[in-house]
Structure 1
Amino acid sequence: MTIILPPYQDWINFRAHSHPNVVALEFSNGEIFTYAELDSAISKVTFVLNQNILDEDYPVAVLTQSSLEFSLLLHAIPRLGMSILPLNLRLKYEELLFQLREVNVRNLIVDEDHYEIGKKLAGNLGINLISSELILQNNEYEISGSKNMNAKDVHSIIYTSGTTGNPKAVMLTNENYYWSAVGSGENLGVNSDDRWLLCMPYYHIGGLSILMRSAIYGTSAVIHDGFNQQMVNFDLRKSSITLLSVVPTMLKRMLEFDTHKFPDTIRAVLVGGGPVSKTLLQEAQIRGLPVLQTYGLTEATSQISTLSSEDAIDKIGSAGKVLSINTLRIKKKFVENDVGEILVKGPTVTSGYLAQPDATQKIIVNGWLHTGDIGHLDEDGYLFISDRRDDLIVSGGENIYPAEIENVLANFKNVFEVAVVGFTDDEWGEKVVAVMVLNEKNLAIDVIKLKSYLSENLASYKHPRKIFIIDEELPRTASGKLQRYAVRMKFENDNFLIPIDLDLF
């Protein structure tokens, strides 16, 4: 089916007229919204929001576990001409405080489970705290249509971590999402009966983009509150799912949960967040899952390139070809194998980082997004990633930047300097490992207090799994820059120095 999309507009409102009886959202509790019903529900939420929102020139932050609440707010907030800032549910108080303060949030919407931390954040920052229960209360009033929405408006602000340890607020416009949907649709095709299963976090671009694409296409999104391999496998077999997005760890758990085949109604399983092993690919194919490896960034509104299922074995390790809407080139840095930095240009590329003009100018030069990822194109135009952005650790699909963890650990008692790196892990892809130098030799670390300290300051997926205590200085360049690559090479293969295993405490 050829995809034909009209110019940008309020997609839910548009689909309420073009596809009123098509299922827009289906939740794991059985609740279903057609596009007409969803448009009405969003209009009611918009009315209540309009009565409670202060300072409409600033983003609205959302901290909710409920996928229903988030799905309604995702479209209601932009209808008021405001941007939505989805907050990562796994972040701790200090991490949330940093993000809210940096983008100058004036309104924070929280569900019941997050009301206490929301109250603390609102009190510290002096911002307006709104309960999602108030927003979703039944009422007869609606605000239909959109207020000053256009293609160039910033729809969402999504935080992604930076190499300095400070996360960056990526601005994604309505236009970015539109063209991302066009590129994905041209690659995968769009069928009127498509049902895209969403089991990834909706506060990350991988999950949020499914909600946006489905609305643009006028197709259905089937939404789970988090990932559960039993539920995913069940819905793949019983709910006529045609599309699925996961990270390699999720795919591995799905295949390990049972040995049954999957139906041929599944058109594509997009796997991002790291390479998929040949063994896993072969098992998926045998079981009937057409895996398509993808490469993408928040700064490019998700997908940049995708490897087809037909090429999955022959081009093992490749992230596929660049989608038609974008242009990709390699900025040569090295002599061997035409390896260099991956640059991307096109309508899905962000306009920049909110409140960080210097970082924006550094990463976007003459329209080219400098991804920081290193790779090459083979003779057939297939992209191969050689290394992750700088020293990025990818664990279970989560992007983890060492500098952020190092900054926290450096403030713990007796720590002189620290390096954080990723070690290869069969289950998670990579695991976080810290190498510490203490203030004096023969000092010790109180592991129980360290674990408590980490829990107070970092989301659990950022916690080091193992810690090496060494006497020598960490390797650095002549300018003093930490050489994490040298640290990883030395300690990942060291069979003599025994690390502290934090999982045992």
Structure 2
Amino acid sequence: MNLVHLLLRQARQCPDRLAILYGTEPWATHAQWAQRSAGLAQRMRAAGLVPGDRVMLFMRNQPRYLEILWAAWWAGLVVVPVNAKLHPREAEWIVANAGARWAFVTHDVASEPLAGLQQQIDVESDACDDLLTPVGDAWAVPVVEREAQDLAWLFYTSGTTGRPKGVMLTHRNLMTMGLTYFIDVDPVSSEDAIVYAAPMSHGAGLYAIPHLMAGARHVVPASGGVEPAELFALGEAIGPLSTFAAPTIVKRLVDHAEQHGIQAEASARAFKTIVYGGAPMYAADIARALRVMGPRFVQIYGQGETPMVGTALSRRQLADTAHPRHTERMASVGVAQTPVQVRVADADGRSLPTGAVGEVLIKGDSVMAGYWNNPEASSAAVRDGWLFTGDVGCLDADGFLTLKDRSKDLIISGGSNIYPREVEEVLLTAPGVAEVAVVGLPDAEWGEAVVAFVVLQPGSTATRDTLDRHCLASMARFKRPKRYEIVTELPKNNYGKVLKTELRQRLADPAHAASGQRSAM
């Protein structure tokens, strides 16, 4: 079960169909893609790389990403995708931990050699062009066959608390993810186009697999990232786009559509499907997105440890406003995707009844093989086949999962559990509020006190007093923030997730604490 056969299948059946575009410009047909990947695979094997060796991709979004990814699998290698926003020293730590032998980079990301590598290739160089040129008949280059349980993708977690861990994803894991997309997320045809605006080193890149399965087009924007005007124009030029986006990217697209008066009909010409996930999407935000851009959204919940597969909230469920529990479903992350089981359990792994809050567990063929060279963490995370996600949530009678928070983010104040997301949901409905993050502050009397970091919209007149009145009108007094910090922005990692650890560190800083006490309610 080698994922490279997905490319070979398309290259043989429809060799001349356009497969990759760079902006609106054609980059490669399926046959050209396969020929280039074969050439690189041939040269990597000739240079001494053997099946199971790790090859790092430390580069911004670029059409070569797809060619190199499938070349590595052709040669039986394991890809180590690294976010282009990481510092080179952080990338070097991953090189050492993964034992990567080669790295493919873009000059803007790694202008100097990374320590520990045998070979570093600038993907925009003539040398890389030469490596991708097949020697003789590309179809004669043998595929290094792999077993379903062999590694394909070694993904390093974002490392918000200490060093990242290498998530070992197998060919079976990724094949499961690809096939599940058609059943639970979105049907795909050969006329479709997926655009890579979010980092290809993460979920966006993984969705290349189902779109290759369907023979769809792959589009890398010329900017290599998220430029809303560019993405809307691309969709108008080449046909409605599908994309994976973190909620922060969705917000930028919706802001652009609203600010430029782009109606839902025009949004439909630019975007077929926007799959969102990777961080909380608050009910108020998705309601606004649907109002501005129409029914083109699907939510997925998964983790790097079960890539893109956990639960899904379909566009049909999001649009079913007549359902008596539509409001609750909008705040959920949907129901279990087809190949997995999802349950909520106590600290000992015992299933909890409907409505009870506990840790979310997932089991199925998408769950990782473990953490690279970290048996202790692997044993703690996967027990009897169940992935202990560290997320806290509850299931309703219809199987819809509502996430409360990460277990480490739970606030216990005066003996009562307070879920930061619940407070954040309320504050996001306050006039003038753009973003919110809620954390706990150690408190001698209560154990922990609730602190809300709030980013205001431009021109907002909201104050700590108005925010507090809004909370008191919508939630129990014990849940309301004891303190409001008005900030210009929230700290986020390279994937757009708010770094609550950093917010807690700010509160622990004596200088910040002193100034904060003056602003406390």
TM-score normalised according to structure 2 size: 0.72
Q: Distance in 2 between matches of 1:72 and 1:45?
A: 9
Q: Distance in 2 between matches of 1:469 and 1:351?
A: 37
Per-residue Cα deviation, 1:91-126 (whole angstroms, up to 9, x for no partner)? 113312221111122222333334533x1x23xx36
% identical equivalent positions:
22
Distance change >3 Å, CA 285–CA 116, structure 1 → 2 = closer
Task: Please tell me the residue identity of whatever aligns with 2:372.
Answer: L
Structure 2 partner of 1:195: 193
CA contact (8 A) 1:158 1:298 kept: yes
Distance change >3 Å, CA 58–CA 317, structure 1 → 2 = same
- Summarize the alignment of residues 266-345 of structure 1 with structure 2, pairs less than 5 Å apart: 266-286=271-291, 287-312=293-318, 314=326, 315-332=329-346, 337-345=355-363
- Summarize the alignment of residues 48-197 of structure 1 with structure 2, pairs less than 5 Å apart: 48-54=43-49, 57-117=52-112, 119=113, 121-122=114-115, 125=116, 127-132=118-123, 133=125, 134-137=127-130, 139-141=133-135, 142=138, 144-161=141-158, 164-187=161-184, 188-197=186-195
- Summarize the alignment of residues 295-444 of structure 1 with structure 2, pairs less than 5 Å apart: 295-312=301-318, 314=326, 315-332=329-346, 337-388=355-406, 390-391=408-409, 423=453, 425=455
Distance change >3 Å, CA 20–CA 155, structure 1 → 2 = same
Shift of 1:316: 1.8
Structure 2 partner of 1:449: none
Distance change >3 Å, CA 276–CA 299, structure 1 → 2 = same
Q: Distance in 2 between matches of 1:47 and 1:18?
A: 23
Paired residue total: 418
Q: Distance in 1 between matches of 2:510 and 2:254?
A: 44
Shift of 1:422: 8.6
Structure 2 partner of 1:254: 253
The 3-state SS of whatever aligns with 1:328 is strand
**Unaligned stretches of 5+ in structure 1?**
1-5, 395-399, 403-420, 428-453, 473-489, 499-505
Distance change >3 Å, CA 161–CA 139, structure 1 → 2 = closer
Shift of 1:55: 5.9
Shift of 1:221: 2.0
Q: Distance in 2 between matches of 1:211 and 1:274?
A: 21
TM-score normalised according to structure 1 size: 0.74
Q: Distance in 2 between matches of 1:256 and 1:263?
A: 12
Shift of 1:10: 1.7
Shift of 1:363: 0.4
Shift of 1:220: 1.9
Q: Distance in 2 between matches of 1:424 and 1:306?
A: 29
Shift of 1:63: 1.7
The 3-state SS of whatever aligns with 2:311 is strand
Task: Please tell me the residue identity of whatever aligns with 2:190.
Answer: S
The 3-state SS of whatever aligns with 1:360 is helix
**Does 2:234 align with 1:235?**
yes
Distance change >3 Å, CA 425–CA 321, structure 1 → 2 = farther
Distance change >3 Å, CA 423–CA 356, structure 1 → 2 = farther
Distance change >3 Å, CA 184–CA 32, structure 1 → 2 = same
Shift of 1:44: 2.0
Higher relative contact order (CA 8 A, sep 6+): 1
CA RMSD of aligned residues (A): 3.5
Distance change >3 Å, CA 381–CA 464, structure 1 → 2 = closer
Distance change >3 Å, CA 113–CA 51, structure 1 → 2 = farther
Shift of 1:384: 0.3
The 3-state SS of whatever aligns with 1:67 is coil
Distance change >3 Å, CA 284–CA 126, structure 1 → 2 = closer
